[in-house]
């Protein structure tokens, strides 16, 4: 093994890159051309590296440069370090752009179809390396988790307050009536609230059940009397099962139409202004600087623009 007098000083990235380039191209001249530096500069860098290591890395010949035994080990390590550094830099750039990383989204609507499913599918297509984590919970739990920093964004029913900074109105979904196929109203194309004033409604305690109950009361109470409501602490899918078995009728949002339950019919319900709807909004913390969140908000603004988004 060939040695030379060792001089103090750190090994820098440029030393490693130059050594790898000389080994790859087999000569100082070709390596200098590839790196777009003067050959004298490249030669001086290699000599400096050799002096700081106390080893001869290359045998200089008229035909080019050949690694010494020590040089082969050093360049092998140099190549690994450079590749690791380049990958780390690339990963950091991807993270800073929101192209990778985690994104935590909370919701309580159905993903069987509808706008939320479409936006998540579109986001996954645009950013395939982002890890999406979804949490389904009640509105109060989602907003609590959002405030605590456990969620990046929560999508819930209702309109945000005008003064809320980290929020955006999104889409609306039609309210649908679920009836047994044998029900006399099941043959209608659409229903009006007046058709439903004598029905027994089965509602879930889970969100958005309370919002649907409020809509139901506001629509039927003016027609006289109190609507008959039966609340169950079960999922919306199991509510449909009770409807199918003939225990009553129910309300769902149109995103839930993608899941199939036998022996039930789904009809749109209208009032004098057309189909009844519930609105959805996104909420996030304004001090959350996750680049992935910024990309998702940009997608929402693109798909559901408001006048303030165009400023």
Q: For 252-303, what is each residue's pLDDT tens digit?
A: 999 888 777 889 999 999 988 889 999 999 999 999 999 999 999 999 999 9
pLDDT digits (tens, 9 = 90+) for 6-25: 666 899 999 999 999 999 99
- For residue 264, the model assigns a pLDDT of 93
DSSP 161: P
Position 310 confidence tier, pLDDT thresholds 50, 70, 90: low
Residue 163 has pLDDT above 90, yes or no: no
CA dihedral sign, ordered 182, 187, 191, 197: negative
Distance (Å, whole) CA 244 – CA 186: 12
Distance (Å, whole) CA 30 – CA 27: 6
Do strands 130-136 and 101-107 pair parallel, antiparallel, or not at all (unpaired)? parallel
Q: Which two tokens stand for residue 102?
A: 């985690």
Q: Which two tokens stand for residue 4?
A: 């030379």
Distance (Å, whole) CA 64 – CA 192: 89
CA–centroid distance for 288 within its chain: 14
Residue 298 and residue 103 in contact, taking contact as beta carbons nearer than 8 Å: no
Residue 153 has pLDDT above 90, yes or no: yes
Average pLDDT, stretch 52-63? Answer: 89
- For residue 90, the model assigns a pLDDT of 87
Question: Where in 88-207 does DSSP place strands (E)?
Answer: 101-107, 130-136, 153-157, 167-180, 190-192, 200-204
Distance (Å, whole) CA 175 – CA 267: 9
Residues 6+ positions from 254 with CB-CB distance below 8 Å: 113, 114, 173, 174, 175, 176
Distance (Å, whole) CA 279 – CA 276: 10
pLDDT digits (tens, 9 = 90+) for 31-42: 999 999 999 999
Average pLDDT, stretch 82-99? Answer: 89
Residue 199 has pLDDT above 70, yes or no: yes
CA dihedral sign, ordered 17, 21, 27, 28: negative
């Amino acid at each position: 093994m060939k040695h030379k007098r060792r001089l103090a000083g750190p090994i820098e990235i440029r030393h490693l890159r130059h050594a790898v380039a000389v080994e790859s191209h087999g000569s100082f001249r070709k390596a200098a051309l590839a790196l777009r530096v003067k050959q004298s500069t490249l030669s001086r860098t290699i000599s400096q590296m050799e002096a700081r290591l106390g080893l001869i890395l290359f045998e200089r010949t008229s035909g080019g440069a050949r690694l010494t035994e020590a040089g082969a080990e050093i360049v092998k390590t140099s190549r690994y370090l450079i590749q690791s550094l380049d990958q780390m830099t690339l990963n950091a750039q991807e993270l800073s752009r929101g192209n990778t990383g985690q994104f935590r989204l909370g919701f309580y609507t159905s993903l069987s179809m509808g706008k939320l499913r479409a936006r998540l599918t579109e986001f996954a297509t645009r950013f395939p390396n982002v890890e999406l984590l979804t949490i389904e919970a009640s509105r109060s739990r989602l907003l609590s988790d959002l405030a605590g920093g456990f969620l990046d964004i929560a999508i819930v029913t209702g309109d945000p307050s005008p003064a809320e900074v980290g929020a955006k109105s999104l889409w609306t979904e039609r309210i649908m009536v679920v009836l047994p196929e044998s029900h006399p109203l099941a043959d209608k194309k659409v229903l009006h609230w007046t058709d439903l004033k004598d029905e027994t409604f089965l509602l879930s305690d889970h969100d958005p059940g309370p919002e649907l109950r409020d809509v139901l009361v506001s629509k039927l109470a003016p027609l006289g009397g109190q609507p008959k409501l039966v609340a169950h602490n079960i999922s919306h899918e199991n509510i449909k099962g009770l409807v199918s078995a003939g225990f009553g009728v129910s309300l769902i949002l149109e995103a839930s139409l993608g899941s199939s339950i036998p022996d039930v019919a789904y009809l749109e319900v209208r009032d004098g202004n057309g189909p009844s709807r519930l609105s959805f909004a996104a909420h996030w913390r304004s001090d959350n600087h996750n680049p992935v969140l910024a990309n998702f908000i940009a997608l929402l603004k693109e798909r559901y623009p408001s006048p303030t988004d165009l400023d």
